[in-house]
Amino acid sequence: MTNLLTGKTAIITGGAGGIGRVTARVFAENGARVAVLDTAPQTAAFAAELGGGHIGVTVDVGDEAACIGAADHVAAAFGRLDILVTMAGVVNPGGITDVAHEEYERTMRSHADGTFNMCRAAIPHFRRNGSGAIVCMSSIAAERGGGLRGGVHYAAAKAAILGLARAMARELAPENIRVNAVCPGAIYTSKRSLAEMNAQLGDRIPMGRVGMPEEVAQVFLFLASDLASYVTGATLDVNGGMHIH
């Protein structure tokens, strides 16, 4: 335990599963009071697993009013809000002429709209504090035009997050609110076996293996902490060299 986030309150959307779940644990281990936001039924139970002083809130990030209510609830429960990590979203395959428009809209709503809604809900609290840190999860798909699990609509949604994060970083820097993005590559999240993923993807990755969720969570920790006090508008790749630019 390094206690990089002692005294900080953090919201993590999509925090009950996958990379979000691991990031929530890492933040809690580093002293943060964590609010896990997710639509999953196990959200509250997982937050309780983190220990006392953490909460779980069931939220659809595509609902702007629900996001505002959740941010206000967290700030009231903890007395302040310091960090927002946005990870909520869905992943489905599909080509440009194959994906249904309803699925495109659902994907954009969960990723792009959800990030937009949560940032707008959190920023007033950061302004009251005089500081804040936002870290948005994008994807290697946004940088290289898909090519992994998500379809064209997923790549578009994740690219929108990159543009939003960079624009917010420029706008909010004078207010001491930092905004950065993380682009994971192929990461093991237990939906497939690690051996299967490495066999399928390892030879496409210079480091010869897929990444572990802890390796992504540590990057979120860095960007959320004061170690990154002069870092804003950055995009950090966590892909083992799969995409170098």
Catalytic residue among 104, 154, 188, 230: 154
Structure tokens at 45: 């139970």
| Residue 154 annotated as catalytic | yes
Decide: 11 and 28 in contact? Cβ < 8 Å: no
Cite the active site residues.
Answer: 154
